[in-house]
Structure 1
Amino acid sequence: MTNHWVDIRNADLVLIMGGNAAEAHPCGFKWVTEAKAHNKARLIVVDPRFTRSAAIADYYAPIRTGTDIVFLGAVINYLLTNDKIQHEYVRNYTDLSFIVKEGFAFEQGLFSGYDAQARKYDKSSWDYELGDDGYVRTDPTFAHPRCVYNLLKQHYSRYTPEMVERICGTVQEKFLHIAEQIASTATTDRAMTIMYALGWTQHSVGSQMIRCAAMVQLLLGNIGIAGGGMNALRGHSNIQGFTDLGLLSNLLPGYLTLPGEKEQDYAKYIAARAPRPLRPNQLSYWQNYSKFHVSLMKAWWGDAATAQNDWGYEWLPKLDKAYDLLLAIELMNQGKMNGYICQGFNPLAAAPNKAKAIAGFSQLKYLIVMDPLATETSEFWRNHGEHNDVDPTKIQTEVFRLPTSLFAEEDGAFVNSGRWLQWHWKGAEPPGEARSDLEIMAGLFTRIRKLYQSEGGAYPDPIVKLAWPYANPDSPTADELAKEYSGRALKDLPDPKDPTRIIRKAGEQLAGFAELRDDGSTVSGCWIFCGAWGPTGNLMARRDNSDPTGIGNTLNWAWAWPANRRVLYNRASCDAGGKPFNPARKLVGWNGAAWGGADVPDYKADEDPANGMGPFIMLPEGVARLFARDAMNEGPFPEHYEPFETPLAANPLNPDQPLALNNPIARVFQGDREAFGKSDRFPHVATTYRLTEHFHYWTKHVELNAILQPEQFVEIGEALAKEIGVAAGERVRVTSNRGYITAVAMVTKRIKALRVDGKTVHTVGIPIHWGFTGTAKTGFLANTLTPVVGDGNSQTPEFKSFLVRVEKA
């Protein structure tokens, strides 16, 4: 979240799209009801199904799954065409006036630089035009044909209400009503917040869906303000923290990145990630990348990481590609990966195409599963009838189950969707032989290190030189790790402005990332967490919910990254002179000498706004990007591409370019492409989702939850049920080109057939929670049906839109 849960109550308009907060996040959803009850906020829901969120919405519109960019792109067109933008905000705080390079182009769904054979772009033309001084050229009048404003307007001129109805199936009247409501927040006295979840991320263009919504918010001036923002609703209590610590295979903690195989030179690696400002007097805070990186290397390799060996840079892997889950399973199937450690994860249920995952697991020499429960992954080799019809005699994989403790059986911190690090305390001892993840991982490491030390091995240095400074090497404590990722001084730290003054003594915890150094004198395992366990102790454990300003910023409750800041980019809540756009919802402001207010300023604390420093301080431009430059793989503007399994023969936006039917840069392995289904055999569109009564694949092990939702079902509309001759409660068979499931049919009015590009399209809803382990009635894993293709940037699988055939069982 750019904002946080409590801040939702400050909104005047709440848009839930790509999520179902009332169902999947019922505790957090109370802040939507607070906004409605006390702020007279209106709630709009756009979703393929009439969900629990839609049930209390002020306005609902259906949409065909996978077409959100068309809807959002048409909102952008509406805002620009009707001049419903926050002018002072976009002129000062976005790149609308920036001039783009002459070579940049877009034609029939493809941007300049496309290589069809390689399925990737040369992005060199996706950039700003620079002047002789090295700064970006701008046109504040917006007259230049290549300024971002004109390119943006041109790009989305094709995204009309008529096109929304044709592609999304959302009738024009509904779209226009929603666009008008959204546009009402372009004024400084109104704010809209957007709440989304996996309904956007789990698409082959998911990252671009999210970016398109962020562009809407920027045009309206809704980023950085109370009641605004782009608010991702995480599906687990610690998914945010998992991501912060390097979830993706190319990431290091704190969103630092691993080097590529061509980046053998340390200085060049740092320089590529520490960009100089593109405008005068911009902070471009990533210029401090070396401080974050060196402090991380000191956390990992301690005294062995020195300036002479580039802080252990040689020991970091240099990636030839991103080794995500989809690639890992592909490599298993190719026989190129023969061992897999699965920690707190059920990939047989979470990866697409269950049959491919089982084939890959079956070729492993060993599979280690660290989990409190017996999962489908740990039991993949057992035959469970039609729910898991395998022959154990043909599976040679040796499976090791290492039972772990649960969160309630250990100390530690969760990072919630709002970026709050909240400490929790051990409530019980784990049962039986279960151990904490820390103890298991430490035990594995110390044994592996001992083998390297006694027997040698290929390239032992990254293992044998790893720092392991814990009181009990076989069982590090949560406190020790928290202090390490927060950070401490290894030497006395002099004040950069006065070398005679020591601001932090050796061994002392750091107060924040501004104290990090790149000379080896500081350690921090995750720079954005720096200060969470500071000189005064564990700030994550604070429980003071006082709110002196009434804006919802309880700064003494736990600790939020970065720097305990609750609303990111909050400098943008003020005008160019530092006065709040909306004094009634003041977050920060300039008092003539310093910035202060209800939040920790996301800005240089003593920077006079007259100097022109932009509020988006991480970027070299100092302003937000409506033109993404080379940051996104598909292009600098979000463009609609159909899901890889689509009911349409062509992309209506680019009907004459077959390369633009689906995401042109999405990675597709050859066997997976052959497994895609076509609409002639699979005429119905399916999407997966969660229920309130279950938590992913865990609670089917709990009797009470199994009673509440005992049996697998699928949702189908009344029109589809009539077409296939099925009544509510009867069983249906749902088939894709990869397999089938059978389940009870829930015939409902909540899913309506849509008219899309001249044809009727039926949507099928498939809850994800069933499988062949647990207390609930056994069922099929929903990903029996799903295709193997991921988002073009994150490789998140396309679970939210695929083709099936529904028939009476």
Structure 2
Amino acid sequence: MTNHYCDMQNADVIMTIGSNNVENHPVSSKWVQKALDRGATWIVVDPRYTRSAEMADIYCPIRSGTDIAFYGGLFNYIIEHDLWQHEYVLNYTNASYLLDEQYSFDVNEGIFSGFNEETATYDNHSWHYQVESTKTWDTSEGGAYAWAAAPGVPEFTPPTVEVPKRDMTLQDPMCVFQQMKKHYSRYDLDTVSSVCGMDKDLLEKVYATYASTGAPDKSGTILYALGQTQHTYGAQNCRSMGILQLLLGNVGVAGGGVNALRGEPNVQGATDMGMLVANQPGYLNWPTEYGTPSLRKWCEKETYSDGYYTNKPKFVVSALKEWFGDAATVDNDYGYDWWPKVPKSPDYSIIGSFELMSQGVIKGYFNWGMNPCHSAPNASNVRKAMANLDWLVVADWVETESACFWKAPDMNPADIDTTVYFLPAALIYEKPGIILNSGRWLQWRYQAVEPWDEAKPDYEICDVLWTAIVDLYKKEGGVAPEPIVNTKWDYYVDGKIDPRPVAWALNGYVYDGTECDTTSAAPKTELLSSFANLKADGSTACGMWIYTGFWANNDAPLDPAEQAVGSRVADDPTGLGLHPKWSFAWPLNRRIIYNRASADMQGKPWNPDRVLVEWTGEKWVQNDVGDFVAVSNGTPVPPNDKAFMMLWEQNARLESYGMGDGPLPEHYEPFESPSDNQMNGRQNSPCVRFAEFESVKRGDRSEFPIAVTTYSVTEHWQTGGQTRTCPALNEAMPQQFVEMSLELAEEKGIKNGEKVRVRNNRGEVEVMALVTPRFKPFTVNGETVHQVGMTHHFGWAGEYATGDIVNDLPPNVGDPNCWVPEYKAFLVDIEKI
């Protein structure tokens, strides 16, 4: 989330797409309502007429899985009607950069240049820029990068800075702007409305309304959630939102941004902590066997040539010092060899892991705080895979479907030899700690009650396991014991594991070889206030560089109320909803990311009534913490075009060579689709992951003609383990349903409230039919397409409100960038029972 909830009130136009924020993120509605009270317009784009749509000014239905067509048409509309923010796009994006002469897109084949049909992957060489000149880092004494040659810094060859060729007139046919214009010229109103199943006039109204925020003094915000991400091209959906906001100058401004509404289960915090296979904490890439087998290789591959990520060696060395402490030295590459290396094969993401279980490769599994026998796609395949395990450990609040997978209706306990251990975990109210909300705000949460019975906080469970494992290695040895016995583990207060020393570790501190004083629980060294203080010579330790500053009060290291994370001062001196002393927003308490882009090239705000930063002629005024270099060596830095310092170009990317499935978002149909692709000659994304698995059992619209999406209801949470134990919630929402249109119900002879069977090649479920006018049939390419929606909170575990597992139905295929499964668009058939 580039902005935050309170900032929604500053928007002139709000577009909810891929989200039903009124029901699923209700707190956001408070701030949306404030914007409406100030005269904003609210657009909701959704397959279903939701409660968000009911409150909005404009509702536009969309067939699930066609978001990129919708966005592509909006790009085309903005460019053709000259509604893009000229000064912003020209100076703060890569619109003027010239692409490699080999760059191309084949409409007939539906692929960009560099595609390898055999491996279903791209070589992105032709997506890069033409080079005007090159320059090298100055690592001499007194040079800007002298730190890279300092004692204690691991040796690596600094990257070469390539200066791209640019055409500031935007006329060169190979410049990014012209290539974008050409690419999306196919996305006209007639074609997009046919693909998405929309009324053409309504679509144009949506486009005109949102494109109006391209005026320099206007701003528009996008609110999205899993409806955008859970597709085989989910990452490109997100890229599309970024491109849209850049074209209109809506990134970095108050009331703008690309804003993911994250859920209560600490989704933002989990993402920060590196819950994806390829990421370590702080969005740094894990080492790989094939690309970064040594610290030198990691620094050379991952360090950017320019921009703030030139500092990656500081972040990684500081992380290694926190992992391994005194054992991490420059002579042993700070313990880099002890870190696990991601292999090219096999795949250990969630979908790949269950395939490896099926093959007998993975023999044991820790299932911690998740319920894949319920929540994973093609969940029946997950249950069958788990039956191949020797052992399974489940840590959770209640006995979930994963904790008792052998009890599933389609399982035979007599055929299963898996030993299952259940570790009862404390509820969120039964432990202290830190949680992050959607806006990147870290907040300390106090313990309300003691854990029930034998339940323990997760960190206590970790500590029990960890100390036992280390003891075994010390007593018995074993293969490669060094990563285990050398890991630093000193997060105790008075001999008991405690989240506060963990907070010190995440924040970062000066490393002088001493450990925390576990008697008084005070760090003996200095907690750091900024990640600018991190070093690559082993003198600092930091487990999460992006959090630095959230726990930096050295005078009260044990008291969260005295730390930024515990601050609850509601003052808002700017009136923009920044509330800078309410909790801590990473990075560096910056509330709106990329806020340099809120002002023009002279440093004057686009909207003088919404000032985030401003150049006075002598210095920068910062109502928000500036996301740029405002002062260098004590001297104010005048305005320049470097508004996106986290990229080496320091200009935002309309076209990006960093994506695995194309430099520009291109529409493909979902893996299972009720329609043919009208935009190019390829039906599905050429880079879909896991499609080759036999377990996928792909369906065809000739047998399964109905499109389906899944969604949540307000009354239940996730897989229902907690909420389905609450009688009042069960009374309000007692069973799951499939929501269908009046027209489909008539066609199928189904009445509201009747039991129906929803099925495809992967499974079948029996649910109640909810017949409503909230779904309407779509007209796609001249044909009628029906779509339905299903809830997913119910299962066989527990005593109340039980039901079939709806997630038996989605295919276990994924996005090539982040492996997210495709829950939001697949095929089924429905019959009355």
Q: Does TM, scored on the shorter chain, surpass 0.5?
A: yes
Deviation at 1:598? 1.9
> Which residue of the partner structure matches residue 137 of structure 2?
none
**Where do residues 417-496 of structure 1 align in structure 2 (5 Å cutoff)?**
417-471=438-492, 475-491=496-512
State the alpha-carbon separation in 2 of the partners of residues 475 and 714 from structure 1: 49
Q: Among 368, 393, 413, which residue is 2:414 paired with?
A: 393
**Where do residues 297-316 of structure 1 align in structure 2 (5 Å cutoff)?**
297-316=320-339
Deviation at 1:389? 2.6
> Which residue of the partner structure matches residue 308 of structure 2?
285
Letter in 2 for 1:296: A
My pick for the range that moved more, 176-185 or 467-476, is 467-476
Letter in 2 for 1:457: G
Deviation at 1:711? 1.3
Alignment pair present for 1:5 and 2:5 = yes
Q: Tell me the TM-score normalized by structure 2.
A: 0.92
Deviation at 1:491? 3.8
> Which residue of the partner structure matches residue 23 of structure 1?
23
Whether the aligned pair in 2 keeps the contact of 1:508 and 1:535 (CA below 8 Å) is: no
Alignment pair present for 1:692 and 2:720 = no
Q: Deviations over 1:151-176 (max 9, x none)?
A: 00001011111111211101111110
State the alpha-carbon separation in 1 of the partners of residues 638 and 498 from structure 2: 48
Deviation at 1:472? 5.9
**Where do residues 734-749 of structure 1 align in structure 2 (5 Å cutoff)?**
734-749=758-773
Whether the aligned pair in 1 keeps the contact of 2:512 and 2:539 (CA below 8 Å) is: yes
Deviation at 1:591? 2.6
> Which residue of the partner structure matches residue 110 of structure 1?
111
Whether the aligned pair in 1 keeps the contact of 2:603 and 2:639 (CA below 8 Å) is: no
Alignment pair present for 1:636 and 2:663 = yes
My pick for the range that moved more, 423-432 or 661-670, is 661-670
State the alpha-carbon separation in 1 of the partners of residues 322 and 256 from structure 2: 36
Q: Deviations over 1:689-748 (max 9, x none)?
A: 000111112311221211110112110100000000011111111111111111111100
Whether the aligned pair in 2 keeps the contact of 1:442 and 1:474 (CA below 8 Å) is: no
> Which residue of the partner structure matches residue 52 of structure 2?
53
Deviation at 1:225? 0.2
Letter in 2 for 1:127: H
> Which residue of the partner structure matches residue 214 of structure 1?
242
Alignment pair present for 1:145 and 2:173 = yes
Q: Among 690, 703, 716, which residue is 1:681 paired with?
A: 703
Q: Deviations over 1:543-586 (max 9, x none)?
A: 00110111101111110100000000001000011111101011
> Which residue of the partner structure matches residue 280 of structure 1?
none
Whether the aligned pair in 2 keeps the contact of 1:701 and 1:773 (CA below 8 Å) is: no
Q: Among 227, 240, 247, which residue is 2:268 paired with?
A: 240
Whether the aligned pair in 2 keeps the contact of 1:250 and 1:323 (CA below 8 Å) is: no
Letter in 2 for 1:685: A
Letter in 2 for 1:652: Q
Q: Among 184, 189, 210, which residue is 1:156 paired with?
A: 184
Deviation at 1:265? 3.0
Secondary structure of the residue aligned to 1:16 is: strand
Secondary structure of the residue aligned to 1:567 is: coil
> Which residue of the partner structure matches residue 529 of structure 1?
547
State the alpha-carbon separation in 1 of the partners of residues 60 and 202 from structure 2: 6
My pick for the range that moved more, 610-619 or 216-225, is 610-619
Secondary structure of the residue aligned to 1:429 is: coil
Secondary structure of the residue aligned to 2:644 is: coil
State the alpha-carbon separation in 2 of the partners of residues 779 and 201 from structure 1: 26
Q: Indicate how the Cα distance of structure 1 residues 101 and 685 shifts in structure 2: closer, same or farther if over 3 A, else same.
A: same
Alignment pair present for 1:652 and 2:678 = yes
Letter in 1 for 2:536: D
Deviation at 1:592? 3.1
Q: Deviations over 1:97-138 (max 9, x none)?
A: 000011111102101111111110111111011123331100
> Which residue of the partner structure matches residue 595 of structure 2?
570
Deviation at 1:473? 9.7
Letter in 1 for 2:341: K
Whether the aligned pair in 1 keeps the contact of 2:601 and 2:641 (CA below 8 Å) is: no
Root-mean-square deviation (Å)? 1.5
Deviation at 1:609? 6.0
State the alpha-carbon separation in 2 of the partners of residues 674 and 525 from structure 1: 38
> Which residue of the partner structure matches residue 165 of structure 1?
193
Letter in 2 for 1:715: E
Whether the aligned pair in 2 keeps the contact of 1:578 and 1:609 (CA below 8 Å) is: no
Whether the aligned pair in 2 keeps the contact of 1:376 and 1:773 (CA below 8 Å) is: yes
Q: Deviations over 1:48-75 (max 9, x none)?
A: 0001100111000111100000000000
> Which residue of the partner structure matches residue 499 of structure 1?
none
**Where do residues 344-355 of structure 1 align in structure 2 (5 Å cutoff)?**
344-355=369-380
Whether the aligned pair in 1 keeps the contact of 2:628 and 2:643 (CA below 8 Å) is: yes
State the alpha-carbon separation in 2 of the partners of residues 765 and 64 from structure 1: 12
Letter in 2 for 1:275: Y
Q: Among 176, 182, 201, which residue is 2:229 paired with?
A: 201
Secondary structure of the residue aligned to 1:554 is: coil
Whether the aligned pair in 1 keeps the contact of 2:599 and 2:605 (CA below 8 Å) is: yes
Q: Indicate how the Cα distance of structure 1 residues 609 and 736 shifts in structure 2: closer, same or farther if over 3 A, else same.
A: farther
Q: Among 432, 435, 450, which residue is 1:411 paired with?
A: 432
Whether the aligned pair in 2 keeps the contact of 1:194 and 1:231 (CA below 8 Å) is: yes
Secondary structure of the residue aligned to 1:446 is: helix
Q: Indicate how the Cα distance of structure 1 residues 381 and 673 shifts in structure 2: closer, same or farther if over 3 A, else same.
A: closer
Deviation at 1:485? 0.4
Q: Deviations over 1:322-362 (max 9, x none)?
A: 52100111100111001000111111112111221011100
> Which residue of the partner structure matches residue 132 of structure 2?
131
Deviation at 1:474? 7.7
State the alpha-carbon separation in 1 of the partners of residues 691 and 483 from structure 2: 32
Whether the aligned pair in 2 keeps the contact of 1:703 and 1:775 (CA below 8 Å) is: no
Deviation at 1:674? 5.6
> Which residue of the partner structure matches residue 498 of structure 1?
none
Secondary structure of the residue aligned to 2:94 is: coil
State the alpha-carbon separation in 2 of the partners of residues 196 and 471 from structure 1: 40
> Which residue of the partner structure matches residue 349 of structure 2?
324
> Which residue of the partner structure matches residue 606 of structure 2?
581
Q: Tell me the TM-score normalized by structure 1.
A: 0.95
State the alpha-carbon separation in 2 of the partners of residues 94 and 334 from structure 1: 47
State the alpha-carbon separation in 2 of the partners of residues 266 and 430 from structure 1: 42
- Structure 1, unmatched stretches of 5+, are 278-283, 493-504
State the alpha-carbon separation in 1 of the partners of residues 769 and 576 from structure 2: 46
Percent of aligned positions with the same letter in both sequences?
Answer: 43
> Which residue of the partner structure matches residue 761 of structure 1?
785
My pick for the range that moved more, 672-681 or 551-560, is 672-681
State the alpha-carbon separation in 1 of the partners of residues 473 and 25 from structure 2: 46
Secondary structure of the residue aligned to 1:533 is: coil
My pick for the range that moved more, 670-679 or 334-343, is 670-679
Whether the aligned pair in 2 keeps the contact of 1:683 and 1:804 (CA below 8 Å) is: yes
Deviation at 1:671? 3.3
> Which residue of the partner structure matches residue 152 of structure 2?
none
State the alpha-carbon separation in 2 of the partners of residues 598 and 376 from structure 1: 49
State the alpha-carbon separation in 1 of the partners of residues 640 and 77 from structure 2: 30
Deviation at 1:428? 0.3
Deviation at 1:597? 2.7
My pick for the range that moved more, 670-679 or 566-575, is 670-679
List, as ranges, runs of 4+ consecutive aligned residues in structure 1 with deviation greater than 6 Å: none
State the alpha-carbon separation in 2 of the partners of residues 378 and 673 from structure 1: 22
My pick for the range that moved more, 611-620 or 438-447, is 611-620
> Which residue of the partner structure matches residue 502 of structure 1?
none
- Structure 2, unmatched stretches of 5+, are 135-161, 514-522, 557-562
Deviation at 1:782? 1.2
> Which residue of the partner structure matches residue 303 of structure 2?
274
State the alpha-carbon separation in 1 of the partners of residues 662 and 445 from structure 2: 42
Whether the aligned pair in 2 keeps the contact of 1:66 and 1:643 (CA below 8 Å) is: yes
State the alpha-carbon separation in 1 of the partners of residues 430 and 51 from structure 2: 33
Q: Indicate how the Cα distance of structure 1 residues 669 and 167 shifts in structure 2: closer, same or farther if over 3 A, else same.
A: closer
State the alpha-carbon separation in 2 of the partners of residues 491 and 178 from structure 1: 59
